[in-house]
Structure 1
C-alpha cells in the first residue's frame, strides 16, 4: 500500500510538471494518463476530473505557504528580521516549488466556480496571515486589509519571475530581489500601519 501511494505521489509530481509546462487547458485526461504511464480508469479512480487534480495541487501550494508562515510566526517578533525571514522563505519556496507558482498564477481560472471559491478562501487566509505577521496592528478597513495583504503577496510571489530572462548568478539575483522586495513591502507596510502620509498628486 505504501509503495502504491508513493508511486501515485510521483505521478502527481509529473502531472504538475506537465500542466505547468504545457498548460492545463492543453492536456486531456487520456494524454495525462498516458504521460503518467497509467490506465485512464486508474487515474479516474483517484480524480474524477482534471480540475480535481488541479485543485489538489493548488491546495498543496497554499498549505505549504501557510505552514511556512506558521514557522515564521513562532520566531522572535522583530519586524525588520521578520520581513527578511518572510522574503527569504518565499524566495526559497519559489526555488523549491516553481511549477506550483506557475500553475497557481496561470491556471486557477480553469477550475469550476466552487473550486475557485475554495482557492479564494485559501488565498485570503494566507494573505491575511501574511499581513498580520508583518503588520500586527494595521490601520485599515476590512477591504483595505484584504487589498494590502493581496498586494504584498503578489509582490512576493511574482518578483522572481521578473528576472527569469536575465542570466544572473544566484547571489546577484537574490540580492536584487531582496532589495526590491524589502523596499516595496516596507513602503506598503508604512501605509498599512499609518506611518506614512498619503501622497496626493496635484495638477497645476
Structure 2
C-alpha cells in the first residue's frame, strides 16, 4: 500500500505578510505614494496594529532594502566560492545578480529606486552593504589588471561602471530572455567595460 504523502506548508506570520505587502506596494506604486494606512488596508488591518511589527515607515523601507542587499551579497559570495579564475568569478558575480533580479525583481527595484527616500543615517548603512558587494567585483577587476600599471582609482571607476550597468539592466521592461542568455550577455558587457578600462 502506498503511504499517504502529507504536505505541511508553513503559514506566513503576520510580520512576513506585512513585509511582503510592503515590498509589493512600494515597488508597484512607490514608497512616497503608499501610507501606512494604505498598507494596513491592503492587509485588512487597522493602521495602528502595524506598530506591533514595525517602528515606522522609514525603518520598514530600510529593513526591506537592507534585507535585499544582504541576500544579494550572500548569494553572490556563495556562487563565487567555486570559481577559480577571474573570468569564472566574473561570470558567477553576474549570474548571482541576474538570478536575484529574476526571482526578486520587486526587492531589487526598492534598492535602485527607493534608496533616495532613506534618511542619511540609513543611507550610510546601506552604502556599506553596497560597498561590500562592489568589493567582490573590485577584487576580480584588480586580478585582471594585475600585470598593468592601473591605479586604484581606475579599478574603482571600472567597478562602478560595471555595477551601474547591472543595476541599469534591472530596469528593463518586457524583455523575455533566459537566465543563461542574460548572464552571458551581461558578462560580455562587463568584460567589455573591463577591457576598455585597461586601454585607457
Q: How many residues align?
A: 188
Q: What does the per-residue CA deviation read over 1:63-115, in whole Å, with 9 as the maximum and x for residues that have no partner?
A: 01110221133213123222222222221111110001111111111111111
Please say if residues 191 and 197 of structure 1, whose CA atoms lie closer than 8 Å, have aligned partners that are also in contact: yes
For structure 1, the 5+ residue unaligned runs are 199-204
Give the aligned partner of residue 158 of structure 1: 168
Give the aligned partner of residue 197 of structure 1: 199
For structure 2, the 5+ residue unaligned runs are 1-9
Higher helix share: 1
The SS at the match of 1:48 is coil
Give the aligned partner of residue 182 of structure 1: 187
Please say if residues 20 and 102 of structure 1, whose CA atoms lie closer than 8 Å, have aligned partners that are also in contact: yes
Within the candidate set 8, 20, 24, 1:17 is matched to: 24
TM-score (norm 2): 0.81
TM-score (norm 1): 0.79
Please say if residues 19 and 27 of structure 1, whose CA atoms lie closer than 8 Å, have aligned partners that are also in contact: yes
- Residue 154 of structure 1 and its aligned partner are, at CA, apart by 1.9
Q: Which segment drifts farther, 34-43 or 49-58?
A: 34-43
Distance 1:31 1:84, change over 3 A: same
2-side partners of 1:89 and 1:161: how far apart? 17
Q: Which segment drifts farther, 21-30 or 81-90?
A: 81-90
2-side partners of 1:182 and 1:45: how far apart? 44
2-side partners of 1:49 and 1:11: how far apart? 13
Distance 1:23 1:190, change over 3 A: same
1-side partners of 2:180 and 2:12: how far apart? 36
The SS at the match of 2:199 is coil
Distance 1:141 1:135, change over 3 A: closer
Establish whether residue 75 from structure 1 lines up as the match of residue 82 from structure 2.
yes
1-side partners of 2:185 and 2:199: how far apart? 21
Distance 1:76 1:128, change over 3 A: closer
2-side partners of 1:53 and 1:142: how far apart? 36
Within the candidate set 108, 119, 122, 1:101 is matched to: 108
Q: What does the per-residue CA deviation read over 1:36-73, in whole Å, with 9 as the maximum and x for residues that have no partner?
A: 23332221233222110000000011101110221133
2-side partners of 1:133 and 1:5: how far apart? 39
Distance 1:136 1:69, change over 3 A: farther
Give the aligned partner of residue 159 of structure 2: 149
Distance 1:65 1:130, change over 3 A: farther
